[in-house]
Structure 1
């Protein structure tokens, strides 16, 4: 028995009004009969299980997601949200959301192209409650974000229910919730989770709207309007939802002539609701996005253009190689999903896809096609358009409810096929066993669930050297706490210098949580840590190349924060700082002193950092220890850690080869140095000396 298409009556014009619209078919798209007639558990019981599951999930994330830490990107978005809030509070006079370098409230000029729906809610809540001044400003944001995460699961489940019943809703919701990466992002990812919630909610209301033609209810219309507006004002790519609505409206009408006829008869009512969704939704976006409010049409297309070709060059690790976000391989997103989604869910997806496609042909294929397009088109488009990609597949979390929905439908169909209660119970037990290992891993490594890797890459401690993992640097919070609790920093009368590759977070967190501490926070890359003065160092492995990670991370440390027993963020302590003293000696050309200090540093600290080799090579070359200088410089150049280190390595090679009267090689190395950092003068000065020495050197015998 196929699902009947609701039709509007035609005998009376008044019948086109909503109050006389026919009752909607309450059975699922795939199920011809209520589940209670065919299965062990009634529909009402399954519905109750689903709703209790949602409540339990919300309580779980609220309890487990408190005070887990935050990241520099979220701090940027929080400042951007405050700037947007200030725009409204000053009647449009404060335009700092366009970009400002005000200390403590910096806003990158690129952020204006981001929507502000979530930020307005979060910042507004913190302003009203006063939490923006205390230590739990970001906990409040996460509390709200966790609600949106569970809303995403709720609407994914409700969509599954529409397609295949409450049993499918239960499977879908639990697959989503128990996916380590998705669960982890629910805890704190205020960029991608709100968009995910808006996107899947819009898909749910869109299916409702299309099924209710020719008389969509105002409840459904407003639900679609708000979810579309929220999604678009979180990420501009939410405009895809309007394209989906238009495309599938045409499809629904073309394949059903009776529906087309009834819709045309009710065209005024239908048109008003389409205008409400498109026009009203866009109006909501403009009113709550200051950048668009300044020039709605022009700035909308500006934001859309930036989104499609986001100019963000980020160094990333993928399959053991260091690449950048503007030149990722075609398989970047599929491969990252393949190695971070639990294998049981991947297998369920394959089974679900087969059953889904089979049942889609048998029943309402239009709904199935809409779900497939909404789930897979964004990834296909991103790959085809060579969009900038980084941080794994977090930017595509919004398609994951669709993936779990397909997998959940597959599991539901298998469960219903097993008629005997014992078989159904055994099947549920099998599902639990399939997810057991990821669940145990999450419990052991909370709150770092988002860094999970499956058995396809072996384990986290193998993936650590091949793929980006803690790209939000969430391990920083616990690492800083260990340092502040165990070291006498708060008790120090003098200012304590702390170097870190997450300076905004460290400074904010210590000032809010340890206000008595007198600190100076120094921004320093991990590989360049020896070039700055500090007593303590807090360094995450982010942006460290795979080969360097494997050979030189971690350095000797006093504390660490681990994931799966692998140090990811480390605390360094060095009160002697012989390496810093060596750098000072090198700056004033005291090469012998610098060489002695570098040697003593490595001997006492055991920190054999290849990043030091460039400077050691300069010192040794200047002391005419040429072979050792060449060896050290070439070793540093194997890693290309930074332009500055490459520059100094080439300078050292230029000096060493000049000392050996190998003028051509010396000049080649110095030219490389000047090409790396054209504005620096050291290589130019050395080049002049080399050319002068070459002119004065005796010619080689013929």
Structure 2
């Protein structure tokens, strides 16, 4: 009635103009947003929906109780404790700012601390210190963010396409072992993913009711964006998305001319965006001490850091060991393609194939928003060639919307065939379950290690073994410790013993406080695992080269227990009662090579599949000038562990002792194919070319050796010799002076 009265006050010329203007607006909005689909559905579907929802929540909480400690929790725990001290002291204890810390821990301050503050506070109140109970609390709290993700993907799918779509979304989540596995032990990526998803969902809800969004939806957006930003600075993306889509919404409703003609509404939109951004960002700052010191400057610093943050670690990808900052651009797509359930892949591509139909049914903006928040970050990361590692965990935040899109795709198919048969809906659900079976069974069989799942396209985890990283965070250390407890090796009345491991933090924090003081944890590099003395070794497959794993010579005969997933070894417990190799290493270090050879021979006689025993024997034989025997021992090591760097180096050096330069050169070049930054390989190649009087090539290789090891004295002396042969005594003296400093 109000609109009618307003029209009668206008002149006859203006009234038709108003009506003509309103009609296309209604059409544009209908085209843009369609209708939410709370379609009538049977009581059975509602029961299934809520039953699956409850089952999923129980599953997540159950997984949280059995999962192990991930290696990165070393950093998170430290930050958590410091954050509690910071807030408890009213900002007086500034350890959380890492002002004088030069270690890798200093990067903690660039992360928001919401999860760490909450988990640290709960543990402090319960009186728990880092250990099994402490991490159980952390994992249960982590699982709650997984529950939040679950509820939102189910609710988003249901609101857009009905209850059955919600059921499909839940099934797809249950068929996501990697998301489930991370949801219970990954305090960085999962809270961020939950905040990112929550912000995107409530942005969608706000857009539906613009220009007057419900306060509940506006609050949901602010809380979601704040959660994401209070975890990672990348949460700022949500505010950018908000500005973009609010702008599009305004143009759809009022057109470009509306900026001037509907300036009041334009200011309202601007106020919503600025207000929600300030509120969300301000809330996030409350949980981020470093950004609190200088909000804009330090937030930008964090964004810049993580945009160019190159964690440089060796990873296994496609059977090849490479540095994480040198991965191919296809890395994320390959990982997603081989480690996501077939049902999820099929659903996502179905949503792309049916995109026009989905747009027609649900509106352009809801569908485009889902695609945008999924694809844009992935495309940007691939375009920037950002360093990725540990699978696709840094991309977990885009995965929940993949599940929503998959649910929409399958639901569209179900509705398309419902007119032909009433069994279309159940049939589609059955197909999704069938495509999900492999993933569902994997989680059921390996609840503590769900995050190592690979789909049938990769040949399952068996096909991925030796090709891709499996338990890259060392979660299996928990099962190793628990086995030692079950066997009575670890118990309160035990004698002291030493455990050597490549994952010392995981093992140390898994030890029960009743016997913890009687156990010494020794960090051991796997390829130097006999350089220190230990009684038992806990070694996950991480840090073992792909060719060695594919050669089926690991686990070795020293193994007394294997931790497996679907029959594939993820970690081993080794027992070394004789310690021949350790004694031999000590003798060799003390210059007693003949005695070391005797001990190494005892080692390889008892454990012929121990490549380190053969390497040690080759090293000792080289030291006494026995090149022939050293060559034989190095070859034995390479039979067990192809492309083993130490064995290749010793093989090349053995050829040098036999004055076989061509074979030495071939071997060192092979070593550089395996390890392109091996300084000693470059050095010896330089020596070979120097002897051949190919001084320029020799010089270049010596320079490469120095590039990768600036303290390699021999390389400086090699260059000095070249300059002397060329009569350049000034530069020769400069390099000899540099060598004298090392």
**TM-score bracket for this pair, using the shorter chain length:** 0.7 to 0.9
SS at match of 1:426: helix
Q: How many residues align?
A: 659
Alpha-carbon distance between aligned partners in 1 of 2:298 and 2:153, rounded to the nearest angstrom:
32
Quote the residue 2:693 is aligned against: none
Partner deviation per Cα, 1:125-181 (whole Å, 9 max, x = no partner): 212222346631111111111111121121122222333233222212221222222
Task: List aligned pairs for 1:455-466, cutoff 5 A.
Answer: 455-466=456-467
Task: List aligned pairs for 1:673-688, cutoff 5 A.
Answer: 675=706, 677=709, 679=711
Partner deviation per Cα, 1:187-215 (whole Å, 9 max, x = no partner): 22222111111111111110111222111
How far is 1:482 from its partner?
Answer: 0.9
Task: List aligned pairs for 1:221-620, cutoff 5 A.
Answer: 221-257=218-254, 260=258, 264-266=263-265, 269-361=268-360, 364-417=363-416, 418-419=418-419, 420-490=421-491, 494-512=495-513, 514-515=514-515, 518-551=518-551, 552-556=553-557, 557-609=559-611, 611-620=612-621
Partner deviation per Cα, 1:592-620 (whole Å, 9 max, x = no partner): 111111111011133421x4444322321
Alpha-carbon distance between aligned partners in 2 of 1:561 and 1:441, rounded to the nearest angstrom:
15
Alpha-carbon distance between aligned partners in 2 of 1:32 and 1:493, rounded to the nearest angstrom:
64
Quote the residue 2:78 is aligned against: 79
Asked whether 1:35 is paired with 2:34, we answer no
Quote the residue 1:90 is aligned against: 89
Alpha-carbon distance between aligned partners in 1 of 2:686 and 2:602, rounded to the nearest angstrom:
29
Q: Is the 8 A contact 1:626 1:659 kept in 2?
A: no
Partner deviation per Cα, 1:501-526 (whole Å, 9 max, x = no partner): 011121222253x4265111110121
Alpha-carbon distance between aligned partners in 2 of 1:93 and 1:32, rounded to the nearest angstrom:
51
Alpha-carbon distance between aligned partners in 2 of 1:469 and 1:402, rounded to the nearest angstrom:
25
How far is 1:255 from its partner?
Answer: 2.3
SS at match of 1:326: helix
Q: TM-score, normalised by structure 1?
A: 0.85
Query: Which consecutive residues of structure 2, in runs of 5 or more, have no partner in the other structure?
Result: 8-28, 666-683, 691-700, 721-742
SS at match of 1:256: helix
Q: Is the 8 A contact 2:531 2:586 kept in 1?
A: no
Q: TM-score, normalised by structure 2?
A: 0.81
Q: Is the 8 A contact 1:651 1:669 kept in 2?
A: no
User: Which region of structure 1 is more displaced relative to structure 2, 127-136 or 233-242?
Assistant: 127-136
Alpha-carbon distance between aligned partners in 2 of 1:347 and 1:606, rounded to the nearest angstrom:
47
Closer, same or farther: CA 397–133 of 1 in aligned 2, 3 Å: closer
Q: Is the 8 A contact 1:582 1:597 kept in 2?
A: yes
Q: Is the 8 A contact 2:474 2:540 kept in 1?
A: yes
Q: Is the 8 A contact 1:31 1:165 kept in 2?
A: no
Alpha-carbon distance between aligned partners in 2 of 1:53 and 1:175, rounded to the nearest angstrom:
11
Q: Is the 8 A contact 2:502 2:540 kept in 1?
A: yes
How far is 1:265 from its partner?
Answer: 3.4
Alpha-carbon distance between aligned partners in 2 of 1:351 and 1:422, rounded to the nearest angstrom:
20
Closer, same or farther: CA 531–29 of 1 in aligned 2, 3 Å: same
SS at match of 1:63: helix
How far is 1:586 from its partner?
Answer: 1.0
Closer, same or farther: CA 595–150 of 1 in aligned 2, 3 Å: same
Quote the residue 1:628 is aligned against: 629
SS at match of 1:555: coil
How far is 1:363 from its partner?
Answer: 5.1
Alpha-carbon distance between aligned partners in 2 of 1:369 and 1:27, rounded to the nearest angstrom:
12
How far is 1:665 from its partner?
Answer: 7.8
Partner deviation per Cα, 1:477-506 (whole Å, 9 max, x = no partner): 011111233153447765311110011121
Alpha-carbon distance between aligned partners in 1 of 2:66 and 2:99, rounded to the nearest angstrom:
29
SS at match of 1:122: helix
Alpha-carbon distance between aligned partners in 2 of 1:437 and 1:666, rounded to the nearest angstrom:
53
Quote the residue 2:205 is aligned against: 208
Alpha-carbon distance between aligned partners in 2 of 1:388 and 1:217, rounded to the nearest angstrom:
40
Task: Compute the RMSD of aligned alpha carbons.
Answer: 3.6
How far is 1:538 from its partner?
Answer: 0.6
SS at match of 2:328: coil
Quote the residue 2:145 is aligned against: 148
Closer, same or farther: CA 634–111 of 1 in aligned 2, 3 Å: farther
Query: Which consecutive residues of structure 1, in runs of 5 or more, have no partner in the other structure?
Result: 1-6, 13-24, 689-702
Quote the residue 1:18 is aligned against: none
